[in-house]
Amino acid sequence: MPAAGHDSWSGSSIPTVNTLEVLPEDKCLELLGCRSVGCIAVVRDNQPLIFPVNYILEGRTVVFRTDPGTKLTWATHGHVAFEIESIDLFYREGWSVLVQGIGEEITDAPDTWSEHIRARELVPWGGGAKDHWVAIASPVISGRRITHRAL
């Protein structure tokens, strides 16, 4: 249900309403396809850790590259979450897309799909070779949008 109030943030007494909208999966996939950087969350020793990564989207699957280390160790065969978002601080609006699934290293996978992914251009922004490819398998994709407007 929308929340009504006054826009005290800007000092205005104009009545406002915030609306939360659940985004359908096709819109989430569209937003994922328009971006190239997000955050991957892994769980190490029962503690969540979040890292920025650049990525590609193949169908419903998010894929990123990494070096050996925390992301590779704890994402491989582990539960992961990946998020992209856009926030407009001035208008107090934004959206987020969440992809939850199981991390699967596809670096040496001999299947046609994995070979196709590794042939795509995904140049890591961070230093290092980033020779390991990780896909988020069995994705559950959800998204939300918050809008803020005057009544």
> What integer best gives the mean pLDDT of the chain?
89
Predicted pLDDT of residue 12 = 57
Strand 3-6 to strand 15-23: parallel, antiparallel, or no bridges (unpaired)? antiparallel
Q: Give the CATH number of domain 3-150.
A: 2.30.110.10
Question: End-to-end alpha-carbon separation of the chain, Å?
Answer: 15
Q: Please write the tens of the pLDDT for every residue from 28-45.
A: 999 999 999 999 999 999
Statement: residue 58 has pLDDT above 90: yes
- pTM of this prediction? 0.85
Maximum average pLDDT range among 61-65, 116-120, 125-129, 144-148:
61-65
**Domain residue ranges of the chain, discontinuous segments joined by +:** 3-150
* Residue scoring higher pLDDT (72 or 18): 72
Give rounded-to-5 percent helix, strand, coil for the chain: 15, 55, 30
Helices (H), the chain: 25-34, 70-75, 112-119
The H or E element spanning position 79 is strand 79-88
Structure tokens of 128? 């290092």
